[in-house]
Amino acid sequence: MSKRDFSRMQRLVVKVGSSSLTYATGKLNIEQIERLVRQLVDLHNRGMDVLLVTSGAVGAGMGKLGFTARPRTIPEKQAAAAVGQGILLHMYEKIFAEYGIVVGQVLLTREDFADRRRFLNARHTLQAMLGLHVIPVINENDTVAVDEIKLGDNDNLAALVAGLVDADLLVLLSDVDGLYDGKPGAAGARVIKEIHEINDKIEALAGGVGSNVGTGGMATKIQAARIAMHSGLVTIIARASETDVLRRLVAGEPLGTAFWPSVKLVNKKRWIAYGATVCGRIHIDEGAVRALRQNGKSLLPSGVTGVEGSFEMGNTVSVIAPDGREIARGIVNYSAIEVEKIKGKKTGEIAALLGYKDYDEIIHRDNLALE
């Protein structure tokens, strides 16, 4: 099997953006949707588990409501999504049904990933749907999401879903051919075919928000690829309008940009790193940085130099190195007030300082996800 041959992979998550599903008017591009569905059905019929993360609800609602530009306010976006969600799902149901395939709608928000119980419930629901040969059609719940809980784009949602269901491959379909090594369309600019590490150079190549009907751009796709790489799966960014793009990608054609996985985080650590809401920051010294990174140790009070935020035991916090970089996220055993009291102290001093000692560690290594 060649490096780009994904034919033996069992589980595929495909994300398609608003610009690939709608015209500039905001109305649905039926021909494009039909081509996408036909490819997904073909992969499903050959035995692959297929999940579709789709944008387009707001765009479809825009066309129905007569908007000529994407709504700017949250209430207007929610109204457009409420109208467009039904239109979009009805279209998918109708076309998939022509091939005898049942689909099920799943609407998610940030809270579904931030809360561990809801995270696991979502995982079990999707696993059950796949077991029943149902293709999940997933979108962010724009009708109720507000800034505080919005995932913000379906690229990151797709990456989180791919990790949630232990997918093998994530394909982000867009209106571009992949990540270019310069400005797309400029003389000499070429698509980067393979990426093994997302560094400052790669991030600098990503632009801002894309089309006027979507919320994502190349920057969000890079963020999504980073999540997927840490989840142990391959991510490919490719053009949605490319003929038979999914079939050709699975067969191994070098279309688009492929991001190859790094060290795979176990499911719980994946949730800590990318799903849980960060409630505060703990600053540590260089000795603690080495202990966490090089020796796989837990975070002890002696290595803590500062505390930010108001968090409680069981919350997720960001761990900050002396140079200001986030090096890890973890679930704390003590509250912010307690950590402030015991920072810089020996483990044996915890009981005397707090009047009790439930744990030796501020964050146990099993509850710590390193960047």
Q: Tell me the three state secondary structure of residue 319.
A: strand
- Please provide the DSSP assignment of 180-247 as one string: BSSSTTSTT--B--EES---HHHHHH--SB--TT-S-BHHHHHHHHHHHHHTT-EEEEEETTSTTHHH
Would the annotation count 15 as a binding residue?
Answer: yes
Would the annotation count 243 as a binding residue?
Answer: no
- Is the Cβ–Cβ distance between 340 and 365 less than 8 Å? no
Would the annotation count 367 as a binding residue?
Answer: no
β-sheet bridge partners, residue 137: 52, 105
Q: Tell me the three state secondary structure of residue 279.
A: strand
3-state helix, strand, coil in the chain (%, to 5): 40, 20, 40
Runs of H (alpha helix) within 98-208: 110-114, 116-131, 154-164, 200-205
β-sheet bridge partners, residue 304: 284
β-sheet bridge partners, residue 237: 172, 257
Over the Cα atoms of the chain, what is R_g? 22
Would the annotation count 177 as a binding residue?
Answer: no
Q: How many Cβ atoms are within 10 Å of 370's Cβ, its own excluded?
A: 17
d(CA 300, CA 360): 7
d(CA 286, CA 321): 7
Would the annotation count 321 as a binding residue?
Answer: no
Would the annotation count 348 as a binding residue?
Answer: no
- Please provide the DSSP assignment of 51-96 as one string: EEEE--HHHHHHHHHT-SS---SHHHHHHHHHHHHHHHHHHHHHHH
d(CA 290, CA 306): 17
Would the annotation count 154 as a binding residue?
Answer: yes
β-sheet bridge partners, residue 326: 320
Would the annotation count 217 as a binding residue?
Answer: yes
User: What's the token pair of residue 370?
Assistant: 């390193």
Would the annotation count 175 as a binding residue?
Answer: yes
- Mark the binding-site residues, compressed into ranges: 15, 55, 142, 154, 174-175, 215-221
The annotation places the binding site for ATP at: 15, 174-175, 215-221
Q: Which residues are annotated as a binding site for substrate?
A: 55, 142, 154
